[in-house]
Amino acid sequence: MKRDLIIDCFAGGGGASVGIEMALGRSVDIAINHDPDAILMHKTNHPNTLHLTEDIFRVDLKKYVKGRHVALMWASPDCTSHSKAKGGETP
C-alpha cells in the first residue's frame, strides 16, 4: 500500500521540509520551486525527495501524484515578493 503524499511548494533550502519531517517523522515526497538554485539546495539537503523545477502555479501535479492521496501540501512563499518588508526594500 502506498502512503499518502507530502508536497512542499516554494521549496528553498528545505527549512519547511525539515519542520515537516520533525513534526510527522517522515520526509517530504515532492518539492517544487521555479528556481534551479533553490531546487539544487533542497536536493542536497533532501536527496530522497522528488524535485520539480517548475512554477507552482503552472505545474501539472496530476502527472506526479498519479491518483495518490495528498495528505499535506505546504506552501510558504518567500517573503521578498509577498510581504510588506519586500526583502528590506523601502516601499
Give 53's strand partners.
Answer: 33
Domain contains 88: no
Domain contains 87: no
Q: pTM higher than 0.85 for the full model?
A: no
With cut-offs at 50, 70 and 90, classify the pLDDT of residue 7: very high
Domain contains 90: no
**Cα(19)–Cα(45) distance, integer angstroms:** 13
Q: Which domain holds residue 44?
A: 5-76
Domain contains 37: yes
pLDDT at 81 over 90: no
Backbone angles phi, psi at 9, to 5 degrees: -90, 160
Domain contains 52: yes
CATH number for position 12 = 3.40.50.150
**Cα(28)–Cα(46) distance, integer angstroms:** 8
Number of domains in the chain: 1
CB atoms within 10 A of CB 18: 14
Task: Work out the average pLDDT over 59-88.
Answer: 81
pLDDT at 85 over 70: no
Domain contains 14: yes
Spatial contact of 30 and 64, defined as CB atoms under 8 Å apart: yes
Residue type at 90 in one-letter notation: T
Domain contains 34: yes
Domain contains 51: yes
